Amino acid sequence: MPYKLLFVCLGNICRSPSAENIMNHLIEQAGLSEHIFCDSAGTSNYHVGSPPDRRMSVAAATKLGIKLCGQARQFQKSDFQDFDLILAMDQENYENILTLDQTKQYHHKVRLMCEFCSRHTLKEVPDPYYGGQEGFNQVIDLLIDACEGLLTQVRS
């Protein structure tokens, strides 16, 4: 059984698909594709079915040479059972996810993405949607750091 990771942001078109694709890239490089499975979702239904934001794709291609794939979907209660670890991009996403777990049965599975950073001190992955390209580049840098830390943790 692979270990299953779910990355969650608000709309599932910027931060969480980037985290999913960066993590998959690192997993492939480590030869662990059969052991770790990644997906992403949004707490809202604003962009369901949409591909990742073009500005995010440009940043990912420039910094890592990877193409962002995926289609936005909304987080569902069944995700609590289906995934081993659920990674929220910011405090608001974190709280929105926990709200859906009324029995508090799955609270231990939900963590903040930035907990896994070793080089950055930000506590949240900022939403770059309304900013310029620099914000998208910053998110990629932050997510590379967090994903590397996360992979180290999952492997141990």
Report the catalytic residues: 9, 15, 127
Residue 73 · residue 12 · CB < 8 Å: yes
| Cα–Cα distance for residue pair 120/113, rounded to 1 Å | 12
Strands 85-88 and 36-42: unpaired
Q: Which residue has the tokens 């180290």?
A: 152
Strand partners, 88: 8, 112
Residue 119 · residue 38 · CB < 8 Å: no
| Cα–Cα distance for residue pair 156/151, rounded to 1 Å | 9
